[in-house]
Amino acid sequence: MSAKAKETPTKGEVTRLVIEDAAVELFIEHGYHATSMRQIADRAGLALGGIYNHFKSKEEIFEAIILDKHPYKKVLPLVLEAQGEDLETFLHNAVQITLKELGSEPMYMKLMFIEFVEFNGRHGASILSQVAPKVLPVFERIIKGRKNLRVTNPALLMRSFFGMIISYFITEMLISKSVIGKLMPKDAAAAYTDIFLHGVLKEPL
């Protein structure tokens, strides 16, 4: 048992994750306050009381989910490690990789909105304060390294980058339920990326 404690998860750790998985599904389906502890217990396959061996309260489940499954957990390393010979390919890669990764489980983006609506963005604001100092330098480097950028403020570049991603997914989720989804181009993600890049860059790709 001297290893990194990642190899053989405790039975308790497994149950904890089962509860989290059941809860995150239900939260995404109905939101936080409309989901009951009994529903979570049922879907996790145990009795109501059993949950409280792993979590002190319903809110603690939500907080664990935010820590473990928030989309930024996937996006952050991707953006930090994005590569490319020049600025254009770098930004293009960063956007495409991020959209593709998040697109594999688009509903997890809904966690952000649940938190925003039902917790007034309390967790979101604190995540932002932790993450921004790590990500901002990336955008600072982009701006300093190249001259063909129309945007010279790193915070604004960062904001428009993530704003574009958020906008892509929320419009995607709204449109997919409507007929006008049919009118969208095949690779809407690429088209979206394209608009953003041309908005930010001075010269065409």
Partner DNA sequence: CCTACCGATCGGTAGG
Q: Is 45 left (phi over 0), alpha (psi -120 to 50) or beta?
A: left
Of positions 90, 171, 189, 205, contacts its own copies by CB under 8 A: 171
The answer to whether residue 67 forms part of the interface with its own copies (CB under 8 A) is no
Q: Which does 192 bind (CB under 5 to 8 A by kind): DNA, its own copies, none?
A: its own copies
Contacts of 23 (CB under 8 A, 6+ apart): 35, 40, 44, 61, 62, 65
How far is residue 162's CA from residue 32's CA, in Å, rounded to a whole number? Answer: 24
Contacts of 194 (CB under 8 A, 6+ apart): 205
Contacts of 19 (CB under 8 A, 6+ apart): 40, 44, 46, 51, 54, 55, 61
The answer to whether residue 196 forms part of the interface with its own copies (CB under 8 A) is yes
The answer to whether residue 62 forms part of the interface with its own copies (CB under 8 A) is no
Q: What is the DSSP letter of 182?
A: G
Closest CB 71 distance from DNA, rounded Å: 24
Closest CB 27 distance from its own copies, rounded Å: 9
Q: How many CB atoms lie within 10 A of CB 126?
A: 11
Closest CB 193 distance from its own copies, rounded Å: 10
Residue numbers of the site for DNA (CB under 7 A)? 11-12, 15, 35-39, 46-50, 52-54, 56-59
The answer to whether residue 205 forms part of the interface with its own copies (CB under 8 A) is no
Q: Which residues bind its own copies (CB under 8 A)?
A: 29-34, 110, 113-114, 116-118, 120-121, 124-125, 128-129, 132, 136, 150-151, 153-156, 159-160, 162-164, 166-168, 170-171, 173-175, 177-180, 183-185, 188, 191-192, 194-200
